[in-house]
Structure 1
Amino acid sequence: MHATEFDLYGVFVPATVVWMLAAFAVTAGVRAVLARIGFYRIVWHRSLFNFSLYILVLGALVALLWQAPS
């Protein structure tokens, strides 16, 4: 069974928000590594690349963590 909401001190937070925050943290780490190795020198539009990377990480997290209801 999967959680659609998390109880945070009486405030119900959608699971999507939690996934988005986790994806942001992972993406921030990946961006730091890419910047350190100089990958951004070959990227045409850095902001678009970062947004696309975030969407890919978010999709991967949702695909890995989402379980179909039984």
Structure 2
Amino acid sequence: MGLREWALGGVLLSPLLIYAMLALLLTGLLRLGVQRAGLARWIWHEALFDCALYVCVLAAVVAVLGQ
């Protein structure tokens, strides 16, 4: 896939936008899995956990798809 702009109807889109949307979807799925597994009760600060999880997932998505 690479880190090249995508042309969508004459508008150039940054690949980071697409990666961020994918990371948001994956973060939501991971968060749902954490809640269903009963691990959410061990989370001290949910908003901080969600933000950190999103950053980690976004870094992994960019590392995997940005080559």
TM-score by length of 2: 0.90
In the alignment, the residues of structure 2 paired with residue 2 and residue 59 of structure 1 have an alpha-carbon distance, to the nearest angstrom, of 14
1:36, distance to aligned residue in structure 2 (A): 1.2
Give the secondary structure class of the aligned counterpart of 2:25: helix
Give the secondary structure class of the aligned counterpart of 1:7: strand
TM-score by length of 1: 0.86
1:37, distance to aligned residue in structure 2 (A): 1.5
1:3, distance to aligned residue in structure 2 (A): 3.8
Give the secondary structure class of the aligned counterpart of 1:64: helix
Give the secondary structure class of the aligned counterpart of 2:18: helix
In the alignment, the residues of structure 2 paired with residue 10 and residue 32 of structure 1 have an alpha-carbon distance, to the nearest angstrom, of 37
Residue 64 of structure 1 corresponds to which residue in structure 2?
64
Report the identity percentage.
36
Give the secondary structure class of the aligned counterpart of 1:4: coil
Residue 40 of structure 1 corresponds to which residue in structure 2?
40
Give the secondary structure class of the aligned counterpart of 1:12: strand
In the alignment, the residues of structure 1 paired with residue 24 and residue 16 of structure 2 have an alpha-carbon distance, to the nearest angstrom, of 12
Alignment deviations for residues 2-26 of structure 1 (CA, whole Å, 9 cap, x no partner): 3421111221110010000000010
In the alignment, the residues of structure 1 paired with residue 5 and residue 49 of structure 2 have an alpha-carbon distance, to the nearest angstrom, of 30
Give the secondary structure class of the aligned counterpart of 2:7: strand
In the alignment, the residues of structure 2 paired with residue 65 and residue 3 of structure 1 have an alpha-carbon distance, to the nearest angstrom, of 8
